[in-house]
Each structure stands twice: as C-alpha cells, then as structure tokens.
Chains A and B, each alone.
Chain A
C-alpha cells in the first residue's frame, strides 16, 4: 500500500508532487503526515510551501534556488530516515447534518444512481467514523473518508459555480464540508451550521489532518 520509495511527478517548473501510495488508506495518509512534519522540521532550501494530500505532498519550490533533480534527491533522503516518534493527538468531532431537500439537492439523484432509498444513503453516511485525510480546496475544507463502498458516486461532470457554505458533499469514497460558499463538483446531500474556519484563530482550521468526524442526522423540529 505505502510505496517503499516516494514517486515524483512534476507539476510545472516550480512544484513537485511526492506520491507515497496509490490509494486512500490511513497508512498512506499517516506516511504523508509524517513526511510533511519531517520536511517542516528541517526545511529544504528553496521550498516555499508544502501542501499535503490524501496520498501525496505537493512541494512548491523556487527552481532558481534548487534544481528539481536535487530537490527529489533531498526529499527521498528525508523520506528514507526513520519516521519521527508520534503524530499529534487526533481530535474527535460530531457534526450535525440536515439531509435532503434544499439542504441536500443531490440526495435524491445520489439515491437514484445507487438504486437505494434516500434514508439508506443517510444511514450509510452517518454510520461510519471518518478520518480527516487532508484540508484543502478552500480554507478549512476537510476531505474525509473512507465512505462505505455502497455510497461511492462520481463527482458531477460539470462542477457547480456556487455551493452554499455548510454543504455536505460526497464524491467517490470521500465526504467533505464546504466551509464557505465556493464552486464545487461534489454531490451535495446535506448541510451543517458548524464553522470550520476562522483566519484569526491560532489554528485557523477547526479540523486538521488525522482528526476523526462522525455525522449525525438532524430531524427537523417543528416549532
């Protein structure tokens, strides 16, 4: 599952995708987390940014300071060192969700695509505790998994230009929450009121790589 050696794919002349596995797996993701911490602890020359993904790190660098070949070599060296002792303690969070209707405009289409009822989609989505694999896309956006195989659906073939803040989406074996209104390609099945991002907090993102999240369906209360 975890590649014995990192694999490299250039993204242009100023960033390098460092792949540590091919699949969404907690082991691969922990390896990504570890390598990120290692590279942050002892920064390499010319590196401007390290963006962790599910199974890869995107290392952004200045190609006039460090040549891509040398950067690859130095990253491979760091990756070959024994992993640092432990990863930070994971947080656990329960997220309330209003499913379907205006809150989740794709819920019925998802159920139709999968050939199951909307209640079954909700049951499947809430029964699992998810790992936060990465924060990305927009500030504070948690990419979580792994979704039960019975819920795997493709992204929308044309992304929406506007997805409301708080929307809960699924795509393939992933689930996520939109922290702000943004464009988006995931199937939207529900909505939550929790605030995921505050730029002025010490830790701007409520969730971090490695945290655990469970969704809870909110029955709409009549007042």
Chain B
C-alpha cells in the first residue's frame, strides 16, 4: 500500500532518523536491534495518535529539526522536551494534536532530555527490512533509505481513516518520566561482575561518572573513575552476544553503556541496566552525570511491571 506524503524535512537538525521499537531475530547475521533509544516515549506517542505501539516514528536529537506539514494530520511529541512548536504555538509533549497543512513543526533545543519522538497517525511509511522499520546506521539499511534524514526528504505516512478522533489525547502527567542529570541508573550485576575486584565493583556503584561528548547511538561513553579488573585478568574476553544496557569495561577501565547498534563484543560487562531504566538511556546528554545503583533481579522485574502498568493504564484510558 502506498503511503501518503505528509511531511517535508526543512532542516534535519543534529540527527534525525526513522525508528520503530527495533529489529529482532537477526542477531545471528550480526544485525543488532537498533530502534528508538527511548522506547517508552515511542510506545506512548504511538498510542496517543491511535497507532500500534511499534509504528515508525521520527527520532530527533537535541535541536534543529524543522518539518513542514503537507496535509492535516494528528501528531504527538514525546520523550525529551526539545521545545517543539508549530504555527507559532507551543506543541505540548505527551499529548496528541491536530496539525494543519502548511504549518511547520520545529524543535529548538532541550529543556529536558536529549531525544524527542514525533509520532504521526498511521505511522511513518517506509519498507520494513528484516522485519523492522528501524534505521540500521552501521550498515545503512532500514528506516528512511538507511540513513539519517536530510533537508528535502518527503516522509509518507500509512493512510488511516478518522484520525480526528485521536486529537486531544494525553498521557497521565504523573506517569511522564523525569529526565534530569544527575542520572541514577539501576543495574543488575553481571554477566562478568566476578571478573572485577571488590574495590572495582565498589567504585562502580559509588563514583559519579560524566558522559563523554564522543557518545552516540552505539554507546554512552563515561569518564571519571577507572574500574579495576581482578589482578591477572586480560583486557578482553572471548566475544559474545550483547544487547543495549550492558555496561562494558574496556582495557582503559572507562565504562561504556552499550546502546542498540551492537550485536556482540569482547569486553567484560560488569553490570546491565534494567529494562525499566533503558528508555532513560536515550535521554542522557553529553556532559551529564551518571551514577549506578545495583538492584536484585526481583526488583528489576518489579520495576518493569510498574512501567508496563503505565502503558496498560494509558491503553485503558483510550478505549
């Protein structure tokens, strides 16, 4: 089915891509999940505009995205507050809005967070590759022509009827995540926490780290304390599968939080960010401060259940 041309990119900003919730089932070809880094924001945005949670959205980073609306439609902006405006008015986040042909949606810069999501009724129309509409930047496939958006790109949307019924929906304000440095990320120890000295583990959960400017969609690189391995341990391990949230400690001892663009690696992982805190990783900004808190598997699953309860509550409110 052909999409309907709905947006024209006037300026792509720092980095804007088409993403859904990720590509699964292709790890044996070395294909990582990719996908929106703040999946929670995407799920909420899609539900607000009447889409399936996994519909494709535009993910934009920091500032500068300007999009011209080519036909009336319904959108929701979720995730970080990058001060989205349209037609001279603020476009409040976590709500669905009618936008009119000829208006421009512009993101001028962060009040909170690092990445914003533009969900549109019907979802961005791009051809799924290996079962997903996410952009694989490493190999240049999926999403919009396998690359970040550029000025002049025309985005089509899957045709839907009766979009106006979705106007004016909102997410429960108390359930909107707070995005603020210093970040406190909950982790579960492992898989290789036993390869680190007690002092190294202690440092990991007590020291503040600073987010390095060379962080990107592959990983959040942290500076600050050096995490010590047990004496006699080599720098690297035999390569194995990896997924977003795993915190690897390369030879120089500076932690890297892996994001969704890597399928495997050969550095030790001291701990892994819990599922409920994964969406926050998309909002951490270079220069921010990050600290880690170890929790039990039980607490991690409980926190995930609480997050899913928020999504379920939203779904119930939309019925």
Contacts and interface: CB of A to CB of B under 8 A. Distances in A.
The reply to whether chain A is a binding partner of chain B is: yes
Interface of A: 9-15, 17, 23-24, 36, 48-58, 60, 63-64, 68, 134-141, 143, 154-159, 161, 171-172, 174, 179-180, 182-183, 185, 197, 199-200, 203-205, 208-209
29 contacts: A10-B297, A12-B188, A12-B246, A12-B272, A12-B273, A13-B272, A15-B243, A24-B238, A49-B25, A53-B240, A53-B241, A54-B240, A64-B305, A68-B297, A134-B264, A136-B239, A136-B265, A138-B262, A143-B264, A156-B251, A157-B251, A158-B252, A161-B214, A179-B139, A183-B218, A199-B130, A200-B141, A204-B26, A205-B30
A135 B30 contact: yes
Contacts of B29: 135, 139-140, 197, 203-205
Contact of B239 (A137, A140, A158, A200): A137
Contacts of B33: 49
Interface residues of B, number: 57
Q: Main SS of chain A's interface residues?
A: loop
A180 B187 CA distance: 32
A136 B29 CA distance: 7
Q: Main SS of chain B's interface residues?
A: loop
A63 to B, nearest CB: 5
A204 B138 CA distance: 14
Contact of A63 (B32, B250, B301): B301
A141 B263 CA distance: 10
A95 B27 CA distance: 24
Given A58-B243, A136-B30, 8 more contacts: A11-B190, A13-B274, A56-B240, A137-B30, A139-B29, A157-B252, A172-B238, A183-B218
Contacts of A172: 234, 236, 238
B142 interface: yes
B250 A185 contact: yes
A154 B236 contact: yes
A56 B33 CA distance: 19
Contacts of A17: 191, 240-241
Contacts of B264: 51, 53, 58, 134, 136-137, 143
Given A141-B30, A155-B235, A13 B130 contact: no
B31, B146, B190, B246 pick with most chain A CB within 10 angstroms: B31
Contacts of A11: 190-191, 242-243, 246, 269, 272
A159 B221 CA distance: 12
Given A49-B24, A139-B136, A158-B252, A9 B190 contact: yes
A44 B286 CA distance: 40
B319 to A, nearest CB: 21
A23 B237 CA distance: 10
Interface of B: 24-33, 129-130, 136, 138-142, 146, 187-188, 190-192, 214, 218, 234-236, 238-243, 245-246, 250-252, 262-267, 269, 272-275, 297, 300-301, 304-305, 308
A24 B236 CA distance: 14
Nearest to B297: A13
Nearest to A209: B28
B113 to A, nearest CB: 22
Contacts of B218: 183
Contacts of A56: 240-241
Contacts of B266: 155, 171, 174, 185
A180 B139 contact: yes
Contacts of A205: 29-30
Nearest to B28: A52
Contacts of A204: 26, 29, 31, 130
Contact of B138 (A24, A52, A139, A155): A139
B188 to A, nearest CB: 5
Nearest to A13: B300
Task: Give 9 nearest A-B pairs by CB, closest first.
Answer: A58-B241, A136-B264, A51-B241, A12-B272, A51-B27, A53-B240, A157-B251, A13-B300, A9-B191
A55 B190 contact: no
